[in-house]
């Protein structure tokens, strides 16, 4: 309970939905972030583990992604945030909502030069708080490739429970990949 409260205190959500954590600022993704996003999304070591980044990364891909994210946010379908550390955009983190707005799916990708500092875990925790505290979701799920232990570890550190395995598309590979499925209910967040 004390841990949950401490985590909540470190995450603040202000209009227009900028989230601040101890070290990071999460800004709703806009077209202005596209260039920074391209710097790491175009890299194979990033794209290979994601469910939505193609490789090679076509020109204009980040612009289109940013435009779609703005539309998605306006329609209430989900939120994508650019993760800032010291003025730099070091990653993206997102939550996509089910049509009934009760469930969310968490995703993220970070620049290789920012790996290993706990940033993904910090951002994932903030999005889980945002999902339950602001969006009032019942449950949040996430998927990480079996061959991506760093991401599985992020989800576990963020408080999610492994619930099984599932084949999911990996566009950068051009085929489906075995993923581990993780889940957290809003009641577990309060535990």
Stretch that binds ligand COA, among 1-9, 64-72, 105-113, 182-190 (CB under 6 A): 105-113
- Is 146 among the residues that bind ligand COA (CB under 6 A)? no
List the structure tokens of 3. Answer: 């841990």
List the structure tokens of 46. Answer: 């990033």
Q: Among 29, 154, 177, 184, which residue sits at the site for ligand COA (rule: CB under 6 A)?
A: 154
How far is the C-alpha of 39 from the C-alpha of 112, rounded, in Å?
10
In order of 18, 76, 78, 185, the CA distances from 104 in angstroms are 19, 12, 8, 10
- Is 117 among the residues that bind ligand COA (CB under 6 A)? yes
Residue 137 has what DSSP assignment?
-
How far is the C-alpha of 10 from the C-alpha of 139, rounded, in Å?
21
- Is 151 among the residues that bind ligand COA (CB under 6 A)? yes
- Is 118 among the residues that bind ligand COA (CB under 6 A)? yes
Stretch that binds ligand COA, among 3-11, 26-34, 104-112, 131-139 (CB under 6 A): 104-112
Task: List residues near ligand COA by CB under 6 A.
Answer: 46, 49-50, 108-110, 115-121, 144, 148-151, 153-154
């Amino acid at each position: 309970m004390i841990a949950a409260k401490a985590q909540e205190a470190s995450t603040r959500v202000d209009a227009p939905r900028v989230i601040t954590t101890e070290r990071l600022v999460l800004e709703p993704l806009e077209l202005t972030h596209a260039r920074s996003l391209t710097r790491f999304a175009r890299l194979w070591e990033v794209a290979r583990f994601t469910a939505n980044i193609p490789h090679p990364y076509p020109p204009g891909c980040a612009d289109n992604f940013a435009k779609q994210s703005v539309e998605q946010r306006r329609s209430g379908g989900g939120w994508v945030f650019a993760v800032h550390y010291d003025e730099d955009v070091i990653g993206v983190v997102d939550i996509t909502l089910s049509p009934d707005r009760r469930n969310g799916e968490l995703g993220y990708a970070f620049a290789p030069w920012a790996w290993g500092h706990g940033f993904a875990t910090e951002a994932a925790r903030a999005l889980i708080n945002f999902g339950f505290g602001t969006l009032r979701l019942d449950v949040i799920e996430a998927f990480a490739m079996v061959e991506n232990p760093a991401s599985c570890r992020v989800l576990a550190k963020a408080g999610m429970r492994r619930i099984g395995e599932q084949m999911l598309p990996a566009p950068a590979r051009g085929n489906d990949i075995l993923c581990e499925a993780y889940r957290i209910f809003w009641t577990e967040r309060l535990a």
